[in-house]
Amino acid sequence: MRPRAVVATVSTIPVVVGGYMLFDGMHALLLGRYFGPGVGPWGFLVSLVGVDPASMATPFVVQGFLWLFFLVSGFYRWWWAWYGKVATAIATLWYFPFGTVLSLAQVAVLVRYRSLLRSS
Digit-coded pLDDT (tens) for 11-40: 999 999 999 999 999 999 999 999 988 788
pLDDT in tens, 65-118: 999 999 999 999 999 999 999 999 999 999 999 999 999 999 999 999 998 887
Q: What totals of helices (H) and strands (E) does the chain contain, helices first?
A: 6, 0
Phi, psi of 95 (to 5 degrees): -80, 70
Residue type, 104: L
Q: From the CB of residue 120, how many other CB atoms can be counted at a distance below 10 Å?
A: 13
**Cβ pair 83, 69 in contact under 8 A:** no
The proportion of the chain whose per-residue pLDDT surpasses 90, expressed as a percent, equals 82
Q: Provide the terminal-to-terminal Cα distance of the chain, rounded to the nearest Å.
A: 14
Q: Rounded to an integer, what distance in angstroms lies between the CA atom of residue 32 and that of residue 15?
A: 24
Say whether pTM exceeds 0.85.
yes
Question: In the prediction, which pLDDT does 11 show?
Answer: 96
